[in-house]
Every structure is written in structure tokens, then in C-alpha cells.
Amino acid sequence: MPQPLFSSRARPLTGTVRVPGDKSISHRALILGGLSVGKTTIEGLLEGEDVLATARAMRAFGATVEHLGPGRWRVVGRGVGGLDEPADVIDCGNAGTGMRLLMGTAAGQPITTFFTGDGSLRRRPMGRVAAPLAQMGVKIVARDGGRPPLAVIGPETLMPITYTLPVASAQVKSAILLAGLAAPGETTVIEPKWTRDHTETMLRHFGAEVRVRDDADGRHITVVGEPDLTGRPVIVPADPSSAAFPAVAALLVEGSEITLPGVGTNPLRFGLFETLLEMGADIELTNRRIEAGEPVADLIVRHSRLKGIDVPPERAPSMIDEYPVLAVAAAHAEGATVMRGLDELRVKESDRLAATANGLAACGVRVAVDGDDLTVHGAGNGVPGNATIAVDLDHRIAMAFLVLGMAADETVAIDDEAAIATSFPGFKDLMNGVGAAIGTSGATA
């Protein structure tokens, strides 16, 4: 049965909030560990449902995947082209990233792999991954609209391709590059708009040859096929997408100051924090460092008076998952915040553009959707709240509106907490530990 959660006005948020490991990097560490020869040790792996589904998938492909302790995992891989055909259907749960990356992984093997997911994932389009994989010689059989369940049938010999991304998608890029590992020669992805580069960074970390060149038509990323990948240690930074929720909460709740240690600060993922700084947020980056090729810092976030701004569409790829919680921040800001170019929000775990706008309106915030743009009119003097939000199996919608409730005039509820575990297990207890008031009982209209 769905389990509602209620979020009421918080006392000042103070202390250290250790958010889970980066979801994108966790998926890739498990997959590349399974495609390597030898042992890969992983520290700080996100143990949410999405990533655990990828761990089960790599076991189904024949890799040894062992849980050693909280956040600590060991993978013994099979090498590029050495995966087994799974004996059963691979269930990716709610993990769109996991399914798209695993489709690319399976494409590089002369095997047949069946994929499915939960009700939300079965509504999400996989055709944007299937199209380039088909050009490489892979056969994909899917439901109408390229939706799961689906089958990926790898050829005996995979063909390298050069492919220009029609939409900015790190998941599609990564699926092609992962498939390209098994293709003779060079596989190139051209992205007119840059997307997060975790796959390129981690491929190099495991020993692949990856070249990146910027040209007039975009960024060219080339992977040289049939490498000998070698197992390596991986330290997973704290996920900036998960850090967004306690960070925005601290900005909104008067008297708050929290520390978020070890957060990934890759500039292709840090668009939300860049935007919050432009809005007047007091966010300090300390102890900057590099871990496993990724930039990391400790963030100190203090309560701030925010102002509305215009967020350009070209920033969307660096913060596409953070728009719901940015909209929550905008609801408390002074003046209007316009977020442009949000078309990708419509094909996430839910239609996040509609869910964000509808939820804010239910809480008494004036919003407008014009095509792919969202305008939030912040009053600067509080949000009424007093609403229950239908989250539709979407973890980011769920957490965004729990954050809204921490600074609203009256309690805000979500209709089901289950989805939160896909990316941020322990969110409720962690936030309550620094001053939030999230529980299973409350009162809304």
C-alpha cells in the first residue's frame, strides 16, 4: 500500500549531511567493473534500488558482484565481449539510466537479453538508444514507441559508427560508447550540446583510449574498440543531484547552516548550484580535490534570501534532474524565475514539467508553463502549502515537495514515499536528524 509522508515547517537545519554516492557514477562503476579483467573495488556506491538493479544485472551477465559493507563493493569482471547470456529477464525497476546503459552493454555481446522495469519505466522511450544501436547491427524488439519490455539481440560482429545525438543525452551517448567497446575500430559520438562526461572519465580510468575534440558541429567523443580494460579502485563522490535537496532546504529554512561533504562538482553536473549562486545563495566550496578523476568539494550551505532569475536553456543538460527542487527554491524567491528548455523533463520517471507545475499550484504558488518553459512567481514571503502531491513513482518530485513543506506555512504531503529509495535511501531520517519534521502523520487540506 502507498505510504504517505508529511513535511512540516522545520527548525533551523544544522549539522553534516552525508548524501548517498553519485547515482550516475555508481551505475558506470558496476558496469565497467564487469567489463574489465580482474578486481574492481568500489567505495561509496549508492545502494539505492536503481543501482542495486544494475548490480543484479551484472551478476546475470556472469560478473562476480559482492557487497562487502556499507557502500563497499567488489566486482570481478569478464572482460569486453565476455559476458554471459542472462538466464532470465533483467528487471531494471525504476532505473532509466540503468536500462539505457545496460542496453549498450548487452549490444556488445552476441547474446539475447530481455529487459523490463516497473510501471514508470515501461512508459519511458528507449527508441533514442535503439536507433544508434541498430546502426551498429544490433536488433532490438520493443513495444510500441520503443518502450519496454524489450529484447536486445547482439550481432556476431558489432559495427563502429559515428553518430550525432539528436537530443542532449548522456545516457544515449554512454550506451553507444559502451557498445563501441566491443566494436573493431573507432566509435564516435558527436554531441552538439555537451552532457555529463562521467562515462568518458571512467572509461579512461579503466584503461580505454578515449579522445575528445571540440569542433564547429559539437564535441566529438571517440572510443577505440576492443580494449583490455583492467579492474581499478573507484571512489564514488556524493551525488550532486541528491545534495540538491538538503542544500535547497538549508537555503529556505531560516537560521540553517549545513555541511555536505565530498560532493561531486563536475561542471557538467553542477548547473543547479551555479544557478542558486546567481539567485543569491550562500554556498561555500571548501577542500576541493580530485577522486578517481572526478572533482569533489565539501559544500557549506547557509540560509539565504533568493531572487528570481532567468535560467538559460543551454544550462539544462547540467541540471536536468534538479529542476523540480530549483522550482521549489524559486517559489520562495523574490520575483519570477524563468526556466527555459525543459523538454527533457517530460520523459523522465514522470512528466516532471507537469508534475512540478501542478504541485506548486496546489501549494498556492503562481506558475505558468509556456511550451517547454516554466515560470515560477516567487512571493519571497512564504508559500501556503497545505496540499497532498501525487508523485507518480518519481523520487525527485517526492523529495522536492518534502523540501517545500520544510519552509511552507502549512504541512505538505506526498502520497507515496516508496520511490525515494531509488536514489536516496534514508532521506527522511537523514533530514530529520538535522532539524526537518518529516513523518507518516500530519494534516493537509
Catalytically active residues, by annotation: 321
CA distance 353 to 216: 32
Residue at grid coordinates 547540467: 318
Cell numbers given for 411: 504541512
CA distance 151 to 89: 9
Cell numbers given for 298: 565539501
Asked whether the CA dihedral 31, 32, 36, 39 is positive or negative, the reply is negative
b/e 186-216 (16+ beta carbons within 10 angstroms → b): ebbbbbebbbbbbbbbbbebbebebeeeeee
**Residue 312 burial (CB count, 10 A):** 13
Residue at grid coordinates 571512489: 235
* Helix ranges, 47-197 (H): 49-60, 96-107, 127-135, 170-180
CA distance 421 to 53: 12
Q: In what order do the strands lie in the sheet with 5-8?
A: 387-389, 412-414, 5-8, 437-439
Q: In what order do the strands lie in the sheet with 310-311?
A: 310-311, 334-339, 373-379, 366-370
